[in-house]
Amino acid sequence: MNVRGSLATISLVLCAIGGCAAPDGGDPSGETPAEDEPLDLAVDSLDIVHGALRLTATMMDGSADVSVRLGSDCDHREVGGGVSTRSTLVWSLGDDDVADAIGCGLVVRARVRDGTRHVNKVAELGVTVDMAAVEVASAEDGPQLQSVATSELGIGVVFASVTGSARLTTGDSILQAAPPDSEDEDPAAGDNTGRFTVPRIDFARSVLRGWLLHLDGSSFVTSLSVGGTSLQSEPQGPDEPQAEPQENPPEDPPEEG
């Protein structure tokens, strides 16, 4: 009996029944694994629609098969949802997705077919945050915003001319200033500097819902940028009433003869 021939026959039968791995760990289908290439993508606009951040971008040789994930060293989970073509991407992100993107950035991945192979075209989009004081008559007498930066714990904001009992209020939290640190203290800032850490979810909700941040009687509007494009919005004062439009304005009274 030819033992070697019998073993070869058994192996062929088993492969036919259960399938066999391709040599060197290759794809059993024989298709070459997709490669990563740069995706030419530019963010055209950011706006807020129905409480979500909507990103509109233009792609060069993109794809309708697109995913948007968290970047950096974060868990690369998919975020938001939307539609795309080879040239256009429209994607929306909710509260939690925006909060995570602030610390992680975004990665857009388009799966493109190039001849007989697939290519993953990838674009990384940085997400940065910003704040500005709402213009009021007494703004010069209140807290002065010094810096805004993303940290591992949240959004670090520094104010000058802050009282010791000041509290920064967001839509969800009342925050106390961090205790002064002699090693990090800026001598030029004096003793009236307040350092606060805003949770990312609070900052995201402030941006998406138009909530102002309040400190010592002053108000601050939040914003962000994605891929170098800023969210355009008009801040409103804390107690500024909205004028109701008049569909049929009253007619002028008739002149007396």
Q: pTM of this prediction?
A: 0.74
Cα distances (angstroms) measured from residue 190 to each of 65, 163, 203, 240: 54, 12, 27, 33
pLDDT at res. 245 = 40
How many C-beta neighbours within 10 Å does residue 41 have? 21
Give every CB contact of residue 38 below 8 A, 6+ residues apart in sequence.
121, 122, 123
Give every CB contact of residue 233 below 8 A, 6+ residues apart in sequence.
48, 210, 221, 223
pLDDT at res. 116 = 77
pLDDT at res. 164 = 83
List own/partner pairs for 172-181 with CB under 8 A and 24 or more apart: 172/199, 172/201, 172/202, 172/205, 173/198, 173/199, 173/202
Using CA atoms, how far apart are residues 223 and 243, in angstroms rounded to an integer?
25
* DSSP state letter for 50: T
Give every CB contact of residue 169 below 8 A, 6+ residues apart in sequence.
175, 213, 214, 215
pLDDT at res. 32 = 56
* DSSP state letter for 188: G
- Position of tokens 């298709």? 31
pLDDT at res. 248 = 47
- Position of tokens 């102002």? 212
Give me the average pLDDT of each 10-residue run along the chain (257 residues). Answer: 48 48 48 76 96 97 95 94 96 97 96 85 97 75 92 94 92 90 52 92 97 95 97 54 43 53
Give CA 80 to chain center in angstroms.
10
> Which of helix, strand or coil describes residue 158?
strand
Q: Are 198 and 175 in contact (CB under 8 A)?
A: yes
Burial 113-150, CB ≥16 within 10 A → b, else e: eeeeebbbbbbebebbbebebbeeeeeeebbbbeebeb
pLDDT at res. 135 = 77
Angle ∠(238,211,163) on CA atoms, nearest 5: 65
pLDDT digits (tens, 9 = 90+) for 204-230: 999 999 999 999 999 999 999 999 999
pLDDT at res. 113 = 84
